Structure 1
Protein backbone atom coordinates (compact mmCIF):
# COMPACT_ATOMS: atom_id res chain seq x y z
CA UNK A 1 0.00 0.00 0.00
CA UNK A 2 1.31 3.41 -0.90
CA UNK A 3 0.69 6.06 1.73
CA UNK A 4 1.14 9.18 -0.39
CA UNK A 5 1.15 9.93 -4.07
CA UNK A 6 3.11 12.50 -6.05
CA UNK A 7 0.39 15.09 -5.51
CA UNK A 8 0.48 14.65 -1.70
CA UNK A 9 -2.94 13.02 -1.46
CA UNK A 10 -3.45 10.35 1.13
CA UNK A 11 -4.03 6.96 -0.40
CA UNK A 12 -6.62 4.73 1.19
CA UNK A 13 -7.82 1.33 0.04
CA UNK A 14 -10.78 1.26 -2.37
CA UNK A 15 -12.90 -0.21 0.43
CA UNK A 16 -12.26 1.81 3.60
CA UNK A 17 -13.33 -1.18 5.71
CA UNK A 18 -10.01 -2.80 4.72
CA UNK A 19 -8.44 -0.64 7.42
CA UNK A 20 -10.44 -2.56 10.03
CA UNK A 21 -10.04 -6.09 8.70
CA UNK A 22 -8.49 -8.91 10.67
CA UNK A 23 -6.85 -12.10 9.46
CA UNK A 24 -5.96 -15.50 10.81
CA UNK A 25 -3.00 -17.70 9.97
CA UNK A 26 -3.18 -20.77 7.77
CA UNK A 27 -3.39 -23.07 10.78
CA UNK A 28 -6.50 -21.45 12.26
CA UNK A 29 -9.44 -23.66 13.07
CA UNK A 30 -12.87 -23.27 11.48
CA UNK A 31 -14.15 -21.22 14.44
CA UNK A 32 -11.37 -18.66 14.08
CA UNK A 33 -11.94 -18.39 10.32
CA UNK A 34 -15.67 -17.89 10.85
CA UNK A 35 -14.94 -15.24 13.49
CA UNK A 36 -12.66 -13.44 11.05
CA UNK A 37 -15.43 -13.42 8.45
CA UNK A 38 -17.96 -12.04 10.94
CA UNK A 39 -15.59 -9.31 12.14
CA UNK A 40 -14.63 -8.24 8.63
CA UNK A 41 -18.27 -8.11 7.47
CA UNK A 42 -19.16 -6.12 10.58
CA UNK A 43 -16.43 -3.56 9.82
CA UNK A 44 -18.02 -2.86 6.45
CA UNK A 45 -21.50 -2.71 7.97
CA UNK A 46 -20.34 -0.36 10.74
CA UNK A 47 -18.65 2.05 8.37
CA UNK A 48 -21.70 2.14 6.10
CA UNK A 49 -24.09 2.73 9.01
CA UNK A 50 -25.86 -0.63 8.82
CA UNK A 51 -24.89 -1.45 12.42
CA UNK A 52 -24.26 0.96 15.27
CA UNK A 53 -21.15 1.50 17.39
CA UNK A 54 -22.46 -0.63 20.25
CA UNK A 55 -23.13 -3.65 18.02
CA UNK A 56 -19.75 -3.42 16.28
CA UNK A 57 -17.86 -3.01 19.54
CA UNK A 58 -19.78 -5.91 21.11
CA UNK A 59 -18.85 -8.15 18.18
CA UNK A 60 -15.18 -7.24 18.53
CA UNK A 61 -15.31 -7.91 22.25
CA UNK A 62 -17.11 -11.22 21.71
CA UNK A 63 -14.22 -12.42 19.56
CA UNK A 64 -11.58 -11.27 22.03
CA UNK A 65 -10.58 -7.97 20.42
CA UNK A 66 -10.41 -4.87 22.60
CA UNK A 67 -12.78 -2.56 20.68
CA UNK A 68 -11.38 0.76 21.88
CA UNK A 69 -7.81 -0.41 21.42
CA UNK A 70 -8.46 -1.80 17.94
CA UNK A 71 -10.42 1.14 16.56
CA UNK A 72 -8.23 3.60 18.44
CA UNK A 73 -5.12 2.16 16.83
CA UNK A 74 -6.62 2.65 13.36
CA UNK A 75 -7.63 6.23 14.27
CA UNK A 76 -4.14 7.01 15.58
CA UNK A 77 -2.54 5.57 12.46
CA UNK A 78 -4.79 7.65 10.19
CA UNK A 79 -4.09 10.79 12.24
CA UNK A 80 -0.36 10.17 11.90
CA UNK A 81 -0.63 9.71 8.16
CA UNK A 82 -2.64 12.89 7.76
CA UNK A 83 -0.11 15.09 9.59
Structure 2
Protein backbone atom coordinates (compact mmCIF):
# COMPACT_ATOMS: atom_id res chain seq x y z
CA UNK A 1 0.00 0.00 0.00
CA UNK A 2 1.32 3.42 -0.93
CA UNK A 3 1.76 6.28 1.51
CA UNK A 4 -0.71 8.17 -0.64
CA UNK A 5 -3.61 5.92 0.30
CA UNK A 6 -5.46 5.75 3.60
CA UNK A 7 -8.66 3.72 3.96
CA UNK A 8 -8.93 3.53 0.14
CA UNK A 9 -9.05 7.33 -0.05
CA UNK A 10 -6.35 9.44 -1.58
CA UNK A 11 -4.74 11.71 1.00
CA UNK A 12 -4.12 15.23 -0.25
CA UNK A 13 -2.40 17.65 2.12
CA UNK A 14 -3.85 21.13 2.51
CA UNK A 15 -0.61 22.49 1.04
CA UNK A 16 1.45 20.34 -1.33
CA UNK A 17 4.54 21.75 0.38
CA UNK A 18 3.54 19.75 3.45
CA UNK A 19 4.93 16.71 1.65
CA UNK A 20 8.41 18.23 1.89
CA UNK A 21 8.34 19.06 5.58
CA UNK A 22 10.34 17.19 8.18
CA UNK A 23 9.73 16.85 11.90
CA UNK A 24 11.70 15.88 14.97
CA UNK A 25 10.61 14.22 18.18
CA UNK A 26 10.06 16.06 21.44
CA UNK A 27 13.43 14.93 22.77
CA UNK A 28 15.41 16.64 19.99
CA UNK A 29 18.06 19.14 20.99
CA UNK A 30 17.89 22.80 19.96
CA UNK A 31 20.33 22.33 17.07
CA UNK A 32 18.19 19.58 15.58
CA UNK A 33 15.02 21.66 15.99
CA UNK A 34 16.71 24.62 14.27
CA UNK A 35 17.77 22.30 11.43
CA UNK A 36 14.16 21.21 11.03
CA UNK A 37 13.10 24.84 10.69
CA UNK A 38 15.84 25.53 8.13
CA UNK A 39 14.82 22.50 6.04
CA UNK A 40 11.11 23.33 6.17
CA UNK A 41 11.70 26.97 5.27
CA UNK A 42 13.95 25.91 2.39
CA UNK A 43 11.19 23.63 1.05
CA UNK A 44 8.83 26.58 0.96
CA UNK A 45 11.42 28.75 -0.79
CA UNK A 46 12.22 26.00 -3.29
CA UNK A 47 8.58 25.41 -4.18
CA UNK A 48 7.98 29.12 -4.69
CA UNK A 49 11.01 29.39 -6.98
CA UNK A 50 12.93 31.61 -4.55
CA UNK A 51 15.59 28.90 -4.10
CA UNK A 52 17.23 27.01 -6.95
CA UNK A 53 17.42 23.21 -7.15
CA UNK A 54 21.15 23.04 -6.48
CA UNK A 55 20.93 25.08 -3.27
CA UNK A 56 17.93 23.11 -1.99
CA UNK A 57 19.53 19.75 -2.71
CA UNK A 58 22.82 20.86 -1.13
CA UNK A 59 20.97 21.98 1.98
CA UNK A 60 19.19 18.64 2.30
CA UNK A 61 22.51 16.85 1.86
CA UNK A 62 24.08 19.07 4.53
CA UNK A 63 21.47 17.78 6.99
CA UNK A 64 22.12 14.16 5.93
CA UNK A 65 18.93 13.83 3.89
CA UNK A 66 19.46 12.17 0.52
CA UNK A 67 17.82 14.73 -1.77
CA UNK A 68 17.10 12.32 -4.62
CA UNK A 69 15.34 9.85 -2.33
CA UNK A 70 13.52 12.54 -0.32
CA UNK A 71 12.25 14.52 -3.31
CA UNK A 72 11.71 11.32 -5.31
CA UNK A 73 9.25 10.00 -2.72
CA UNK A 74 7.32 13.27 -2.87
CA UNK A 75 7.36 13.17 -6.67
CA UNK A 76 5.89 9.64 -6.60
CA UNK A 77 3.18 10.81 -4.21
CA UNK A 78 2.29 13.76 -6.45
CA UNK A 79 2.16 11.46 -9.49
CA UNK A 80 -0.35 9.27 -7.63
CA UNK A 81 -2.41 12.36 -6.81
CA UNK A 82 -2.53 13.28 -10.48
CA UNK A 83 -3.71 9.86 -11.71
TM-score, scaled relative to structure 1? 0.82
Structure with greater strand percent: 2
Distance 1:72 1:82 in 2: 15
**Cα shift at 1:37:** 0.1
TM-score, scaled relative to structure 2? 0.82
Query: What is aligned with 1:34?
Result: 34
Query: What is aligned with 2:58?
Result: 58
Taking the TM superposition and a 5 Å limit, the aligned residue runs for 1:4-83 are 11-13=12-14, 15-83=15-83
The answer to whether the 8 Å contact 1:3/1:12 transfers is: no
| Stretches of structure 2 lacking an aligned partner (at least 5 in a row) | 1-5
Q: 1:42-63: CA deviations, max 9, x gaps?
A: 0000000111000000000000
Matched residues, number? 76
